[in-house]
Amino acid sequence: MPKFAPRTEEGFGARLARLRKAQGFTQEQLAAELGISRRRIAYYESESDHPPASLLADLARVLNTPVEELLGGGTSKKTRPAPLSPRLERRLRQIERLSPKPKQQLLSIIDTFIAAEQARQGSRS
C-alpha cells in the first residue's frame, strides 16, 4: 500500500497554466502584461504550490477569472460577460493610452465599420 495517495486536485501551477492557455497567452505574453519576467511565470506554473499574493489580483484581472478560481476554490457564482480575446483587450488598452485626437479618429473608424456591418446584417433580414 503506498504511503501517500496521489494528488488528484489540480495545484496552483497547473491551474495557472490552464487558465493562461485558455486565454491564449504564452508565458512571455502573460509576463509582459504583468510586468514581470517569463521565468517567474514558469516558476509559478511548475515549481510553486503557493500563489504569489502580491500578483493574485493582477493575475485574476489579466486572465479574466475570479481570484477564487486561481486559488482553487472554483468559479464564482456571479455571471460575467463573455471575456474579450486577449489580443483585443491589449489593443483596447493601447487605444485608451492614445492622445485624444488619434483616439477619437480611431473610434470614428471603428464606429463606421460597426455601422456598416449592422446595415449589412439588417439588409439580410
14-32 pLDDT tens trace: 999 999 998 889 999 999 9
Question: If you search the block for the grid coordinates 519576467, which residue do you land on?
Answer: 37
Q: What is the pTM of this model?
A: 0.54
Distances (CA, A) of 117 to 24, 111, 121, 124: 26, 10, 6, 11
Domain ranges for the chain, please list them: 1-81, 84-125
Compute CA 15 distance to the chain's CA centroid, rounded to the nearest angstrom.
13
Tell whether domain 1-81 is in CATH 3.40.50.10190. Answer: no
pLDDT of 76 reads 46
